[in-house]
């Protein structure tokens, strides 16, 4: 598709069912986590959504962004981005620079759950984007030749494989893989919780449900909803 509002929105509204992949050259209302806008100039990035019915208990679906992160990072490493890593809960990073993001949304469908997994990846260097966002941004063309159809095909297949593993075995095998790709493992983090309060601790992997495990002065704490705002060596 050349242009649309949001690939996630279109697939959430689609009543056709089945497994659907929708990619767009540009989105006028692309979204990131917590409603943040996803910025991507036409031809500069790769933006797509995959919609699929997921057969796991509702309480486990919060882990889907982690499942998708493992799949995207695994695919990018296979394509040659050797340092592709994960920032909890839904960012793809390389050397501290944000390379991409994931947005998972769900809706009920005939007694089960339809998951829509949106992926956005920066492909071609855009210095204006980093200036506008005021943060380090990574681009795929710093690491590999850009063949967007190949990249899309590889990520989509890896994502389907990861979803199959999740349906068969739950989050556990993918949780261990996520921890092996954790960009902040062993670092001291400051995390802004959903209510705005800050908490600090050493990144110590994930809990069984995908929450971030922090080792604090008061003991181990599980953070289920929040945003990492800073990190440093412990």
As annotated, the active-site residues are 33, 98, 232
And the tokens for 103? 């947005």
* Residue 178: its H or E element: helix 172-180
Tokens found for residue 154: 């590889």
Q: Give which of 33, 51, 65, 32 is closest to 160, Cα–Cα.
A: 51
Question: Closest Cα to residue 124, out of 22, 5, 42?
Answer: 42
Cα separation values, 7 from 15, 20, 158, 191, Å: 14, 11, 19, 29
């Amino acid at each position: 598709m050349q242009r649309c509002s949001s690939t996630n929105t279109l697939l959430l509204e689609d009543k056709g069912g089945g497994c659907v992949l929708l990619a767009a050259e540009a989105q006028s209302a692309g979204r990131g986590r917590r409603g943040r806008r996803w910025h991507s100039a036409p031809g500069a990035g790769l933006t797509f959504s995959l919609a699929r019915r997921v057969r796991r208990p509702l309480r486990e679906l919060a882990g889907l962004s982690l499942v998708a992160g493992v799949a995207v990072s695994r695919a990018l490493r296979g394509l040659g981005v050797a340092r592709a890593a994960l920032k909890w809960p839904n960012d793809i990073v390389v050397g501290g620079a944000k390379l991409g993001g994931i947005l998972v949304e769900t809706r009920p469908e005939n007694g089960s759950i339809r998951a829509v997994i949106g992926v956005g990846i920066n492909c071609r260097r855009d210095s204006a984007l980093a200036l506008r966002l005021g943060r380090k941004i990574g681009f795929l063309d710093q690491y590999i030749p850009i063949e967007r159809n190949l990249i899309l095909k590889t990520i989509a297949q890896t994502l389907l494989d990861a979803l199959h593993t999740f349906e068969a075995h739950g989050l556990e095998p993918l949780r261990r893989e996520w921890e092996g790709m954790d960009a902040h493992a062993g670092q001291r983090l400051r995390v802004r919780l959903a209510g705005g309060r800050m908490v600090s601790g050493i990144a110590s992997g994930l809990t069984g449900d995908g929450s971030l495990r922090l080792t604090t002065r008061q003991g181990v704490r599980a953070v289920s909803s929040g945003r990492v705002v800073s990190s440093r060596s412990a």
